[in-house]
Structure formats: C-alpha cells, structure tokens
Structure 1
Amino acid sequence: MSDTAKATRTIPLFPLNTVLFPEGPLPLRIFEPRYLDMVSDCLRHDTGIGIILIEEGSETGPTTQTHQVGTLCHISYWNRRSDGLLGVTMTGDQRFRVLRQEVCDRHWLVGEVEMLPNEPAQSLPEEFIPLAELLERIIGQLDPPFTTMKKRLQDACWVGARLTELLPLDLRRKQSLLELDNPLQRLAVLNESLHELEMG
C-alpha cells in the first residue's frame, strides 16, 4: 500500500461559505435536518467533520460543488439554543485534500480525503509584527470563543491563519491562503491584501 493510500480516510463534509484553518474556532447554528443528523453522528461516535468552502451552489442547496482543500474539525462545544436551533463550535484540527466525494444515503456529502501535514510553529519576523498587533485588536473586539482561545501572537502560522479567517477578504483569496504551505508567504499576501483594503 502506498503512503498516500495509508494517509486517506473518509469523512463527512460540511460545505459552507467560510474558510477555516487548524486551531480556528467556528460557531454555527445548525437547523437543516441532514446537518443535525451529521452533527449528532459526530458527537455520538466522536468523529470529525470536514469544513470546506463552497465553489458553486449554496449552503442549503441539494447539490454543492466544493473546493478541494478544507479543514477537519471536532466539535468543541454544543448547546440547544433558546430559538430551538442547535449551537455548536467547531475547532479546526488538520487540513485535507478531497480525492473523491459523493452524497451518502443520509443526504450529506462524504469525501475520501488525504490529510495534509500541519505547519510547525514558526517565529514571527519583525516585519510582520504590525499584523500581529492588528490581529490582537480585532480579537479584542470579538466575543467568545475568539476571546477565550489561546493566543500565539509570536507564531507566524497562527497569526496568518487567524487573520485570514477574520479579515473581510474575498473567499477565493482566503481559500488560496488556506492552500498555501508557506506561512511567511501567507503573511506577505495578507500584507498586500490589507493595503488593497485601505486603498478601497
């Protein structure tokens, strides 16, 4: 058996209009029956769910075309909300690449995926310290779970991931940043993106 075959697994896929990185928190309100079923199955069997960006289609549509790279998550918190919906917080664990996907008999997407290696921690270069300072200010204006997560503002990987999730960037750009394997290149792209946002 090849190394690639050994690294593959089958996971449920949750297509969303969002991009999530490893260690990132994602609060969700679940109301569609198929996704309530998926989340219940995940909680019952302590398995993960793959969050992946929609390329074509909608979050509530019957069929959805997704991008190829997403993030495997676990459910770190859940509660039954006062409005009757299920509230969950997903936390990213590891990126994956979809090799094949199909709709299962329970009406959600499942994918055969190849797990991608997590990026090791890397010291934040001095030139990117303003990005870490910006991230700290952004997080300070948010609510839990963002304000309660462990901050690693000296880690280039962590800073780039959280900024990509939180900045108002085009989703396709966020996806391209998720697919990058170089955290310093990701920070350089974020620097350029911030200049574009400032220029309007």
Structure 2
Amino acid sequence: MSESLPLFPLHAVLVPGAALGLRIFEPRYLDLVRDCGRSGSGFGVCLIAEGEEAGRAAMPMAWGTEARIEDFDTGPDGLLHLRLRGERRFRVLRTRVRDSGLVVADVDWRDPDPSAELQPQHALLGEVLRRIFDRLGEADVRIPEPRFDDAAWVGWRLAELLPLSLPQRQQLLQEDDPDLRLDELLRLLS
C-alpha cells in the first residue's frame, strides 16, 4: 500500500541514519517545513535525476530516504538552516507537481534492515569505519551508540562517510540486502 510523501530533490543522497544540513529559501520548501513541523511528519529526500535544486520542479530518482528535522535555526545569511536525519527508505511509484512547484510522490516504504551481525568477510569494513570515527572525532560524527558489529549500521555509516560519487551512494541506497551492500562497499574500496 502506497503513501503520499512530499519530496525535496537534491544533488545529494541521504541514507538511513545520516545527517544532512539544508538551507531553505524557496516558498514551496518553507511551506513544506512548516507543514512537517505542524504534523510531526517527515519528507522525502531524493537525488535529482534531471533538473536543478532551485527553480522549476526537478525530476527525482526512484529511490529516496525519509528525512526528519532534528534541529533548525536562522543562519547568518538570514535563511532557515535545518539539520536532518535520514530514516526509512522508499521507492517512488509515481509523482505529481503541485501548483507551488512542490513534488509529491506516492511511495512504497522498504522494509527496515534486519539486525544481523557483521560477517567475517566484512570485518575489514568495520575496522575502516572505526578508523574513520577515530579521525573525525565525536564532535564531527553525531551518531548515537556506535554498532560496529551490525551489518546494516556499518554499511550505512560507510555509505555516508566515504568519499563516494552520487551514483555509487545511490546504488547503495537501492540495495535491500545489508550483506550485498557491504560486498559492494568492499568492491568500491578495492
């Protein structure tokens, strides 16, 4: 069963658990943030398949992640600044554009990742992630309770933190199996 979800197409890929900073200035997105604040709901973030972030409605990729607003402030530039956190993944079934230019999609929510231990063939990835965390320090990584033995968590954190291209990150977002996601990360690192 599909559900309607407003979308915010970006030149970025948000993965579950990842943080994303966003500056809001267009009326359609200011309205979106206001509506989300009133209802306590999130909105979808999708990589732009065609178009730009500002101006006319951009065509989103068919996979995205629900974003929840964690914090907001007015920046020195006078614009609304948001800190988002990625939650559930979804697949876009169809889209429509409102008169305001806001893209709304009917989405199919993907099942949450199963809780599974990191397999021996992926142990190197857990160690790579530990070293990234050591280098960044806790102030730069705002992730509660590290779970270095959880296959899905390790995969999403690496997808968030490694210097991957947008198509590579998008491919990881579209993979339902945490172990296959880790296999792809191993391939990308080699």
Q: Same-fold call, TM > 0.5?
A: yes
2:154 corresponds to 1:159: yes
Which among 171, 174, 181 is matched to residue 176 of structure 2? 181
Which among 51, 61, 78 is matched to residue 67 of structure 1? 61
TM-score by length of 2: 0.91
Could you list the per-position Cα deviations for residues 34-63 of structure 1 after superposition, in whole angstroms to 9, with x for gaps in the alignment?
212211221122111001111111111413
Which among 5, 8, 16 is matched to residue 2 of structure 2? 8
User: How many angstroms apart in 2 are the aligned matches of 1:68 and 1:119?
Assistant: 19
2:84 corresponds to 1:90: yes
Could you list the per-position Cα deviations for residues 69-104 of structure 1 after superposition, in whole angstroms to 9, with x for gaps in the alignment?
111121121122233121211112211111111111
Shift of 1:146: 2.4
> What is the count of residue pairs matched by the alignment?
189
Question: Amino acid of the residue matched to residue 170 of structure 1?
Answer: S
Q: Do the aligned partners of residues 87 and 150 (structure 1) sit closer, same or farther apart at CA in structure 2, a change above 3 Å counting?
A: farther
Shift of 1:142: 6.1
SS of match in other structure, 1:67: strand
| 2:41 counterpart residue number | 47
SS of match in other structure, 2:7: strand
Could you list the per-position Cα deviations for residues 97-151 of structure 1 after superposition, in whole angstroms to 9, with x for gaps in the alignment?
1111111123211111111111111101122222122223323416757234331
SS of match in other structure, 1:190: helix
CA RMSD of aligned residues (A): 1.8
Unaligned runs of 5+ in 1: 1-6, 196-200
Q: Do the aligned partners of residues 18 and 125 (structure 1) sit closer, same or farther apart at CA in structure 2, a change above 3 Å counting?
A: same
Identity of paired residues, percent?
Answer: 42
8 A Cα contact 2:93 2:107, kept in partner: yes
User: How many angstroms apart in 2 are the aligned matches of 1:22 and 1:148?
Assistant: 11
| 1:37 counterpart residue number | 31
User: How many angstroms apart in 1 are the aligned matches of 2:99 and 2:57?
Assistant: 14
Unaligned runs of 5+ in 2: none
TM-score by length of 1: 0.86
SS of match in other structure, 2:167: helix
